[in-house]
Amino acid sequence: MNGAAGGVGHFALQIAKWKGAHVTAVASGRHEEFLRDLGADAFIDYTKVAPEDVVQDVDLVVDAIGGPTSARFLRSMKRGGALFPIFGLGAAGGDEAHERGVTMSTTQIRASRAQLEDIRPVLNDATIRVAIDSCFPLSDASMVHKRAAEGHIQGKIVLTVDEQPGYRA
């Protein structure tokens, strides 16, 4: 799971664990304790080592960074595996994926009541937890962009209605 600490990644990691996968989380070192607490079996600090150089024979890479850089993971994958850039725009490597027998695909989220109903029990019993990076009132929505631009997000940024700001640095 690349980009494992962010809004998408911390859910993808937990869903993979819930489904029984062995998960390697890739993020900057500040997130290691957080990601191990969410269930990561292994951790790679991408600021110290390129994950595609040290991971081999994986079945699935979910890449929350994605785009043009996703194809570097093809060499880390098993034949028959799947590479899933969350941000698909600019994704390259289709020919190499074909040669290596790797399925490369992406999608755009659509809210699904049925899927939310499926996942409700594991949210209620905290099998899957929602991490909150920071919280802003709707009237201060521009702060969300400021926080996002700072990077290193851990979990979700929340907008609240009729609440005071509770920014957690």
Ligand X SMILES: NC(=O)c1ccc[n+]([C@@H]2O[C@H](COP(=O)([O-])OP(=O)(O)OC[C@H]3O[C@@H](n4cnc5c(N)ncnc54)[C@H](OP(=O)(O)O)[C@@H]3O)[C@@H](O)[C@H]2O)c1
Which residue ranges make up the site for ligand X (CB under 6 A)? 2-3, 5-9, 26-28, 30-31, 46, 64-65, 86-87, 108-109, 151-153
**How open is the CA angle 154-107-45, to the nearest 5 degrees?**
35
d(CA 115, CA 25): 24
Q: How far is the CB of 87 from ligand X (least distance, A)?
A: 4
> Please, which residue, 71 or 153, has the CB nearer to ligand X?
153
Residue type, 158: V
> Please, which residue, 20 or 151, has the CB nearer to ligand X?
151
Q: Which residue is nearest to ligand X (CB)?
A: 6
Q: How far is the CB of 99 from ligand X (least distance, A)?
A: 25
Residue type, 89: L
Q: How far is the CB of 153 from ligand X (least distance, A)?
A: 4
Three-state SS letters, 49-87: CCHHHHCCCEEEEEECCCHHHHHHHHHHEEEEEEEEECC
> Please, which residue, 1 or 102, has the CB nearer to ligand X?
1
Q: How far is the CB of 167 from ligand X (least distance, A)?
A: 16
> Please, which residue, 34 or 137, has the CB nearer to ligand X?
34
Going by C-alpha positions, the residue among 40, 64, 43 that lies closest to residue 55 is: 43
Q: How far is the CB of 113 from ligand X (least distance, A)?
A: 17
> Please, which residue, 30 or 146, has the CB nearer to ligand X?
30
146 token code pair: 């400021």
The answer to whether 9 touches 27, Cβ cutoff 8 Å, is yes
